[in-house]
Structure 1
Amino acid sequence: MNKPIRRLSLFALALFGVLLLNVTWIQAVQAEWLQDHEFNRRDTAERLTTPRGPIQVGNEQIASSSLVEESGQYQRAYPEGEVYAHPVGVFNPMGNFGIESTENTYLDGSHSSLLVRNFLDMLTGTPAQGATVVLTLDPAAQQAALEGLKANATNGRAAAVAVDPSTGAVLAAASIPTYDPNEVADLSDTTASVENWNALAADENQPLLNRAFNERYPPGSTFKIVTAAAALEAGNTIESTIAAPESIPLGGSSLPNAFGGPCNGGAPDSIAHSIEISCNTSMANWAIELGDQAMHDQATAFGFNSGPMDIPVPVTESLAPLEPDNNIRAQTGIGQGNLEATPLQMAMVAAGVANGGTVMQPYLVQEILGPDMSELDSTSPEVFSEAVSSDTAEQLTQAMIQVTEGDEGSGLTGAIPGMQVAGKTGTAETGDGDTHNWFISFAPADDPQVAVAVVIERGNQSGGTLAAPVAKAIMEAVINE
């Protein structure tokens, strides 16, 4: 009789042990996973009953929360609609994105720097408040970028980035197609919000994709600035010449100049003139002569191959692999081959030249302010890399000025009356017959305040025709303020 009872007791004890292990596993090991799980309705409800701090550009709140009395939940509002949608992101029942995600603990008040304040508020019965996140974006530049892209993107897909060359502050980051975050953050009709979000996610044009930071393109002839930089850093001057024929053999085919014919009447062409007219064959020959390591190292110095970046929103890595094969490296010299660059990366190239060869770390958040407007945190400019010498940067600047001013300049539409603009056009082949159209620039050339990169996806024209006018409008918006 005792033996069955002992067995039953042991079995019950074993079950109790399994139960304890299961509870421990759920509450300890899986706690964070369960808390962050998309089907955790308790977490979602809690997030919606917490007043979030505002996101601010200049003196304007571009994201704010207000209490909906009927539900007791806080409705997030984006008064500028689509203008800041990609860098700011959205806060809704489906999750957080953009700055709304990366700065979430500040915005919802759970950051450690707000704990004492929140505890005191709890004692006094004052509702907890999130912090204010102040962005570096320039309202006029952001508006100019979005309007310019819409007016010039023939295929409806494009991106633009502007940065302050001396600090790295992001002044504009626009991407089209875009969306209105209010339509996916409406708590009064969550069914419609979810349906709108699903429709955006399923759209083949990817309106949720931040092309400024997270899409990569072949940079085309804008990369010739990197090739020229490598040549100058190797001891050449802006007037150094190299063969620039009508075409050069490339494996089983050839690499021609876009305009047909040689670049300098059949004579070797200088680096300066090759930048002005965007000569393919001379820059391909420079890439072959410089070698794979020099080309790879120079691209890396400007920010390629540096891994994903957080500014604090995530930025996709740009790629410029080692190319031992001369044929592929010739393509690299003109921005083709295996090169992949985000618009932010090419803005960093322009900014590095503008800043005397020093590339600054890009950043999007200027400061974090507590509910009492005291400063909790701020971003100090940091050097990302010393890409080239100041002498090289000055030589490149003078060559880039001729792109917008020279008799044969390929980017005359990027010029601003009354000041010098340094620029470079780009037309990048996609491999299926279409071309992306680029323009990178900075102004004023003698005292740079803004550096820009614009890409028009599958525009199938020239960078000077489509992208340069957008860059001009953005630069003017910053300079004229």
Structure 2
Amino acid sequence: MTRYIRHAACFCALLLVALLVNAIRVQVFQARAHDTNPANRRENIARYGRERGDILVDGRPVTGSRDTGEQLRYERTYRDGPLYAPVTGFASQEYGTTLLEHTEDPVLSGSDPMLTPFPLWNDFTRRRNPGGDVVTTLNGAAQQAAFRGLAGRKGAVAALEPATGRVLALVSSPSYDPGVLSGNSPGVGRSWAWLNANPDKPMLNRAVRQTYPPGSTFKVVTAAAALDAGVIRDVDAPTDSPAPYTLPGTTTSLSNESDGCEDLSLREAFRWSCNTVFAKLGVDVGVRDMTATARAFGFNDDALRIPFSVARSTFDPSVDRAQLALSSIGQYNTRATPLQMAMVSAAVADGGQIRTPYLVERTTTAGGSIVDTAGPRPVRQAMTPETAAVLKELMTQVVTEGTGTNAAIPGAIVGGKTGTAQHGIGNAGMPYAWFVAWAQGERDMQPKVAVAVVVEDASAVRGDITGGGVAAPIARAVMKAVLNAKE
């Protein structure tokens, strides 16, 4: 009898060992597979079972969490949602995350191991930390000035601090409220369908994800290439530039918006934005040097992130001479994001240097302890300091006595460049109004802000769409907000 009891006990012990082995297999070796299984709701229940960390502007949260009392307990909320949507993106229980809500999700959701001093212990206990906070570089007043200036018109604004690369404003219009996508009610699905079907594309981040022909604002790059290549040695000397200018190898004539551009010096051609002078300058510089200069400014870069990805701005290196002429005045295949053109303006303001732009100043734990900081940013020389000094002078004259007078700020030094970019088949599309600029307060040792504005408002009268008339006042408001200048 004792033998049978011993056999039964051994069998039970084997079953217990088998259960333990299977539990270890499931809970240790297959844990990740089960965690990522779409049928497993425990991760979502845990994820939304606690408040999400916040995104901060000027030290104040522009996001929050609302307790719904449901199984997926906390929903994301947004303060001034449309104002900050191009920065925050959305965090939706149904549709995932975008922009900062996506790139900083490990910190915001509490899953980043850097949020705890004992990450291995958390892995063992599967304990989730409280969500951390993301402190942005934004200037709230500049963000609001850009948003009010666009006033719902299609367009975008990007502003940078030239000496650091900090993103001070990033606005896209028309915008949307990310809060309508936060939960999982039927209304969320209806909002998602409406936003995606809206022809104005309110969820498109035009500041970093949309490229436009930059038009005459690209003449800053062309002027830099001509000066660095030695094609222009005296900005006051006449140029051999006919008006109209016949594109090389064609019978097509390029004209100007204003008269008197024939043989104008670089200074006067820049001031009055003469197409013929800059088209010929681009041809004289050549494809190789024009492409190299454009690349130095950031064009043709696929890797730019701020931390979310930025669309690639392009300058075509395979053009013929006629196409090069058009490319050199910001037409043909030349395209840029507003952020890229803000980088061009910032390079002029910072002695020819471009600082890689960034949007996150630091991340912290829920208690405020610093987890990570932006740190030093890579620097690239887009042009020589001497060329940058000349361009600063030329851009200043555009604002004091040229096409950009609407950007002038009393008591501050302001430089700018207007642009009106044609597009569409046969240039039949509504022109885009551009303005790029930088500003330096009277007590500042160096420029404090560089900005790019584009307005693509199809409801406007075509003749009214000019960079100086439409975009420059918006840039002025943004720069004033940063400088805190008075009328």
Same fold at TM > 0.5 = yes
Q: Which moved more, 1:273-282 or 1:61-70?
A: 61-70
Tell me which residue corresponds to 1:136: 137
C-alpha contact 2:45 2:71 (8 A) present in aligned 1: no
C-alpha contact 2:110 2:128 (8 A) present in aligned 1: no
Taking a change above 3 Å as real, the CA distance of residues 312 and 201 of structure 1, as seen in their structure-2 partners, is: same
Tell me which residue corresponds to 1:436: 432
Q: How much does 1:100 deviate?
A: 0.4
Tell me which residue corresponds to 1:474: 478
Tell me which residue corresponds to 1:256: 255
Q: Amino acid of the residue matched to residue 49 of structure 1?
A: G
Q: Amino acid of the residue matched to residue 403 of structure 2?
A: S
Tell me which residue corresponds to 1:146: 147
Identity rate, percent: 39
Structure 2 residue 335 is the aligned partner of structure 1 residue 340: yes
Match for 1:462 among 466, 472, 477?
Answer: 466
Q: Which moved more, 1:177-186 or 1:84-93?
A: 177-186
Q: Give runs of aligned pairs for residues 270-281 of structure 1, distance below 5 A.
A: 270-281=265-276
Deviation readout 1:406-465 (Å, 9 max, x if unpaired): 2xx011111112222100000100134221110000001872000000000156411001
Tell me which residue corresponds to 2:4: none
C-alpha contact 1:360 1:381 (8 A) present in aligned 2: no
C-alpha contact 1:450 1:475 (8 A) present in aligned 2: yes
Q: Secondary structure at the match of 1:377?
A: strand
Structure 2 residue 60 is the aligned partner of structure 1 residue 56: no
Q: How much does 1:36 deviate?
A: 8.2
Structure 2 residue 287 is the aligned partner of structure 1 residue 288: no
Q: How much does 1:298 deviate?
A: 0.4
Taking a change above 3 Å as real, the CA distance of residues 370 and 124 of structure 1, as seen in their structure-2 partners, is: same
C-alpha contact 1:308 1:316 (8 A) present in aligned 2: no
C-alpha contact 1:428 1:436 (8 A) present in aligned 2: yes
In the aligned structure 1, how far is the partner of 2:224 from the partner of 2:101? 38
Tell me which residue corresponds to 2:100: 99
Q: Amino acid of the residue matched to residue 284 of structure 1?
A: A
In the aligned structure 1, how far is the partner of 2:30 from the partner of 2:207? 39
Q: Amino acid of the residue matched to residue 439 of structure 1?
A: F
Tell me which residue corresponds to 1:421: 414
Q: Amino acid of the residue matched to residue 477 of structure 2?
A: A
Q: Which moved more, 1:213-222 or 1:430-439?
A: 430-439
Q: How much does 1:210 deviate?
A: 0.3
Taking a change above 3 Å as real, the CA distance of residues 436 and 125 of structure 1, as seen in their structure-2 partners, is: closer
In the aligned structure 1, how far is the partner of 2:332 from the partner of 2:315? 9
Q: Secondary structure at the match of 2:354?
A: strand
Q: Which moved more, 1:308-317 or 1:139-148?
A: 308-317
In the aligned structure 2, how far is the partner of 1:233 from the partner of 1:145? 34
Q: Give runs of aligned pairs for residues 369-448 of structure 1, distance below 5 A.
A: 369-406=364-401, 409-432=402-425, 433=428, 434-444=430-440, 447-448=446-447
Tell me which residue corresponds to 1:9: none
Taking a change above 3 Å as real, the CA distance of residues 403 and 111 of structure 1, as seen in their structure-2 partners, is: same
C-alpha contact 2:156 2:454 (8 A) present in aligned 1: yes
In the aligned structure 1, how far is the partner of 2:119 from the partner of 2:108? 13
Taking a change above 3 Å as real, the CA distance of residues 244 and 312 of structure 1, as seen in their structure-2 partners, is: same
Deviation readout 1:200-240 (Å, 9 max, x if unpaired): 01211111100000000000000000000001101233334
Taking a change above 3 Å as real, the CA distance of residues 430 and 399 of structure 1, as seen in their structure-2 partners, is: same
Match for 2:158 among 153, 156, 161?
Answer: 161
In the aligned structure 1, how far is the partner of 2:158 from the partner of 2:246? 36
Taking a change above 3 Å as real, the CA distance of residues 61 and 326 of structure 1, as seen in their structure-2 partners, is: same
In the aligned structure 1, how far is the partner of 2:132 from the partner of 2:330? 43
In the aligned structure 2, how far is the partner of 1:419 from the partner of 1:257? 31
C-alpha contact 1:244 1:279 (8 A) present in aligned 2: no
Q: Provide structure 1 residue ranges, at least 5 long, that are not aligned to the other structure.
A: 1-22
Q: How much does 1:68 deviate?
A: 2.9
Q: TM-score, normalised by structure 1?
A: 0.86
In the aligned structure 2, how far is the partner of 1:66 from the partner of 1:350? 41
In the aligned structure 1, how far is the partner of 2:31 from the partner of 2:281? 56
Q: Provide structure 2 residue ranges, at least 5 long, that are not aligned to the other structure.
A: 1-24
Taking a change above 3 Å as real, the CA distance of residues 436 and 376 of structure 1, as seen in their structure-2 partners, is: same
Structure 2 residue 76 is the aligned partner of structure 1 residue 76: yes
Taking a change above 3 Å as real, the CA distance of residues 390 and 36 of structure 1, as seen in their structure-2 partners, is: farther
In the aligned structure 1, how far is the partner of 2:40 from the partner of 2:237? 64
Q: Amino acid of the residue matched to residue 167 of structure 2?
A: V
Q: Amino acid of the residue matched to residue 370 of structure 2?
A: E
C-alpha contact 1:169 1:363 (8 A) present in aligned 2: yes
Q: Which moved more, 1:286-295 or 1:41-50?
A: 41-50
In the aligned structure 2, how far is the partner of 1:358 from the partner of 1:113? 33
Q: Which moved more, 1:64-73 or 1:428-437?
A: 64-73
C-alpha contact 2:213 2:422 (8 A) present in aligned 1: yes
Tell me which residue corresponds to 2:19: none
Taking a change above 3 Å as real, the CA distance of residues 92 and 447 of structure 1, as seen in their structure-2 partners, is: same
Q: How much does 1:323 deviate?
A: 4.2
Q: How much does 1:43 deviate?
A: 4.3
C-alpha contact 2:115 2:129 (8 A) present in aligned 1: no
Q: Which moved more, 1:225-234 or 1:239-248?
A: 239-248
Q: Secondary structure at the match of 2:138?
A: coil
In the aligned structure 2, how far is the partner of 1:199 from the partner of 1:274? 47
Q: How much does 1:118 deviate?
A: 7.2
Q: Amino acid of the residue matched to residue 406 of structure 2?
A: T
In the aligned structure 1, how far is the partner of 2:435 from the partner of 2:117? 49
Q: Give runs of aligned pairs for residues 168-179 of structure 1, distance below 5 A.
A: 168-179=165-176
Q: TM-score, normalised by structure 2?
A: 0.85
Question: How many positions carry a matched residue from both structures?
Answer: 444
Q: How much does 1:241 deviate?
A: 3.5
